[in-house]
Structure 1
Amino acid sequence: MGLSRSEQMARIRGTNTSPEVTLRRALWARGLRYRLHARTPAGRPDVVFSASRVAVFIDGCFWHGCPLHYARPRSREEFWSAKLVENVERDARQAVTLESAGWQVVRLWEHEIITELESAVELVERAVQGGGSPWAAQRRVRQVTEVGTGLERREIVVLSAPSDVIEVIEGPRITAKARVVKKVAVPGTTGNPE
């Protein structure tokens, strides 16, 4: 017999996720030293650079409303819709609170770490060195509703104004999740595709 929904949800990690560990290893290899889940004026970010006052959040595509990969659950739609709105508003509050306390905020999608690790590391490194981070313009899905069989309507907001819908997209239901494409070495080759 399969697991109940409650049992499935209980197995989802909140810390030390694969994207989080991947980013931390890349930051460490780059010589950047950090603390994990250290207390800040607005909670405990995933990675904290206390000396330079940089807070890094790694946002899961499902939990935080990624415009590319958020997949609307098929059950308890009202609960999940409210949860998504709550998460997006909390993310905005955290970022505003941290910035008003003199911190820089870096928010990365889990898919950015999976597909664009080098860019993600460079963004964190720039913030640690005193450069800005464009968290305020990050787009989020705030609400998804079904408008027909296999079709949905997505309300997109920017994180700096989570209650103002900037775009509405109607289209097929999104079910795709970012995946790592593993390169397989072919025997008898140098491993270099060129």
Structure 2
Amino acid sequence: MSIMELLAVVFPHLAAVRVERVYRVGATVRVKASTTGPKSACPACGCASVRVHSRYERCLADLPVAGQEVLLQVRVRRFFCDNTACDKKTFAEQVPGLTSRHGRRAAGLLPMLRTVALALGGRPGARHSARLACAVGRSTLLRLLRSLPDPQLATPRVLGSMSSPGARATPTEQCWSMWRAAMWSRCCRIGRRTPSLPG
């Protein structure tokens, strides 16, 4: 198996960049890479640009490999925007499926951290993520949890009493029946008329 085949198996999400070096520093695997595309699109106006303004290195936490923390050091470019009507004069290129604007984690790591946050929450999730070799703080996990969209809840089918005698009531139906019986007895006891029940 060649080095390129090994990289394609271990780091399939790095296909859009050129991997230059993989080395180890302590307990962290570091991957040096650089972008290869000849041009990039401006995020504000969508105009493609080929004029490079400067280059800089971004450090991103990535999915662990063999129980070791992985840090990506990606050399990206800043381009001039050639559209004179655009407010942006320069912009940084983004690697699809890998980087995001102001992001400090690779796109593949975020779903795993969201799963940990949903299952365990803040402090327990932070302890578990350290065992998974992708340590993050409790505040980060809670922030990821808050960024998730609200789940779509199904509308309850019935809020009345049992449809047929002898059928077993659901907990919602039992609660509704008990509330109705309590309201009925209270209103009759104090001599008021029976309240109108919704539905």
Compute the TM-score of the two structures, normalised by the length of structure 2: 0.25
More helix by share: 1
Give the TM-score of the pair, scaled to structure 1. Answer: 0.26
Q: Which has the larger radius of gyration?
A: 2
Structure with greater contact order relative to length (CA < 8 Å, sep ≥ 6): 1
